[in-house]
Structure 1
Amino acid sequence: MRPIAILQHESTQGPGVLRDHLDRHDLPYRIIAPAADGSAPVDAAPFSGIVVLGSDHCVNETLPWIEHERVLLQDAIRRDVPVLGHCFGAQMLARAMGAKVGRNICPNIGWSEVWITPPAQQRMALPRQATIFNWHYDTFEIPAGAVRTMYGSHCLNKGFMRGRHWAFQGHLEVTETSVRNWCAAGRAEILRARGPAVQDETQILLGLHERIANLHRIADQTYRAWTAQLDRPLFFSLGRAAAYA
């Protein structure tokens, strides 16, 4: 099976429970660091799927590696190589599909409730509501031909899907450790941020163990459904007659 490309941009925003899921199901993957390397692959053919994680950058920045990622995702869409976008990755997928990405009405940092649409409930076996972890300032329009999968009180478009390509304006992949590390690294940023959807560090870490456990159940259902779509090699067992024909 071709590996899944995982595009990681920040040390605090790793694949987390997604990586655990892939390891548990013996699914090969390759972690790529476009921001650190200054470039990204532009050909989707070597991969069975592409995962794009979060970033401190904006998708509208004119950086070579961001342009490379856009070309890669457009190639994946053309070849129907499944894409899974988290936060920045969701915005990149929306942009690759021709949708606009811009500032949300307010920053969204911390835990917030989202409502899950019937198509996503059916396709991903998800409940009607969930609490997910967020850290973003931008939002995307729903691309042409896609359907909204999640929506929130302070950010309408929290997710979409179009065929085998899925995007989430949030972080399903985080672990208890990664949230703590992210808060420590972003402490000054949290203090500067203002708005009704911004939590402080104390609020983010309150009941963290239980929140992460609940989020992992949502993530497991989502990752299970997304990886089930990946193309796998077919193996044929040849009988003795066929083998010697």
Structure 2
Amino acid sequence: MTAFEHLPKTIYAIQHLAFEDLGSLEDVFYQLGFRVRYFEAGIDDLTKAYQYEGLTIILGGPIGVYETEDYPFLQQEIDLLKVRLDKNLPTLGICLGAQLIAHALGARVYAGHAKEIGWSALQLRLVKDNPLLPLANTQVLHWHGDTFDLPENATLLASSSVYSNQAFQVGKNILALQFHIEVASDTLEKWLIGHTCELRKANIEISKLRADNQNFGHHLEPIAAIVVNNFIQHIKL
């Protein structure tokens, strides 16, 4: 019996933007014997993904969880997520995905005081069995303007110099990461192209972001694999 036989062998991933995919984690899941199926928010019916008893990953995007009037599919997504979390089904949220988890758990999600875009190390919290400990002294990619309050019954795992709530966990099955652990160093150029309006409006130096990716991205990828491996090993169905 392998360490992952307790989990269904397909990972469901919900995308909110075509080029924000599982990145380096996709190969990790393949190497562990999983398949990957993507769902496109706003286009596909997400019911199956949110009712799935295996691991569902909610990926990032440039919209806010509070923009349900402009993006009505978000409300259905939030309603489905509330049921999923109430059932304690295995769920990983990244960036917007983390914000959706926080909102579905009753916490406030709102525009932050500053854009946090760039590479920097996390301030890891000294809590028991923190799954992010392998990221100590490792630069990760931050790319967000919204932030959230810590949900009730959640354990804070990490902070940054800009925002105190960067990651939290609820039990062993629910993990929310505000930062981008999944970014693949060889495909970040898609982000630089796709988010050019945001980057220029925020006065982000694109050449520096690209150079930092070359310096830090390859180091992050194997550590991200360890973090995700540890997380799914401890999932309890």
| TM-score bracket for this pair, using the shorter chain length | 0.7 to 0.9
Equivalent position of 1:203 in the other structure = 208
On the 8 A contact 1:97/1:143 being kept in 2, the answer is: yes
Q: Which amino acid aligns with 2:168?
A: F
Total equivalences in the alignment: 227
Q: Helix, strand or coil: the match of 2:33? A: coil
Cα gap change, 1:120 to 1:66, in 2 (>3 Å): farther
Correspondence 1:59 to 2:93: no
Shift of 1:207: 4.3
Cα gap change, 1:113 to 1:43, in 2 (>3 Å): closer
What does 1:1-245 align with in structure 2 at a 5 Å threshold? 1=8, 3-37=10-44, 39-41=45-47, 44-62=50-68, 63-119=71-127, 122-163=130-171, 164-194=173-203, 199-230=204-235
Shift of 1:224: 0.4
Shift of 1:165: 0.5
- State which drifts further: 71-80 or 154-163: 71-80
- Where structure 2 has 5 or more consecutive residues not aligned to the other structure, the ranges are 1-7
Shift of 1:176: 1.8
Cα gap change, 1:75 to 1:3, in 2 (>3 Å): farther
Shift of 1:124: 4.3
Q: Helix, strand or coil: the match of 2:43? A: helix
Q: TM-score, normalised by structure 1?
A: 0.85
Deviations 1:57-116 (A, max 9, x none): 111111332122212222221221111010000000000110000011100112122111
Cα gap change, 1:6 to 1:219, in 2 (>3 Å): same
On the 8 A contact 2:98/2:177 being kept in 1, the answer is: yes
Deviations 1:136-159 (A, max 9, x none): 110011100011111011111111
On the 8 A contact 1:48/1:231 being kept in 2, the answer is: no
Q: Helix, strand or coil: the match of 2:118? A: strand
On the 8 A contact 1:111/1:132 being kept in 2, the answer is: yes
Q: Which amino acid aligns with 2:63?
A: H
On the 8 A contact 2:121/2:136 being kept in 1, the answer is: no
Shift of 1:30: 1.9
Cα gap change, 1:124 to 1:191, in 2 (>3 Å): closer
Alpha-carbon distance in structure 1 between the residues aligned to 2:186 and 2:128:
28
On the 8 A contact 1:99/1:140 being kept in 2, the answer is: yes
Cα gap change, 1:124 to 1:151, in 2 (>3 Å): closer
Q: Which amino acid aligns with 2:58?
A: V
What is the aligned-residue identity percentage? Answer: 24
Shift of 1:185: 2.0
Alpha-carbon distance in structure 2 between the residues aligned to 1:64 and 1:43:
18
Q: TM-score, normalised by structure 2?
A: 0.87
Alpha-carbon distance in structure 1 between the residues aligned to 2:142 and 2:225:
18
Q: Helix, strand or coil: the match of 1:6? A: strand
Q: Helix, strand or coil: the match of 2:57? A: strand
Q: Which amino acid aligns with 2:46?
A: A
Q: Which has the larger radius of gyration?
A: 1
Alpha-carbon distance in structure 2 between the residues aligned to 1:127 and 1:108:
18
Cα gap change, 1:189 to 1:98, in 2 (>3 Å): same
- State which drifts further: 78-87 or 209-218: 209-218
Runs of 4+ in 1 over 4 A off after TM superposition: none
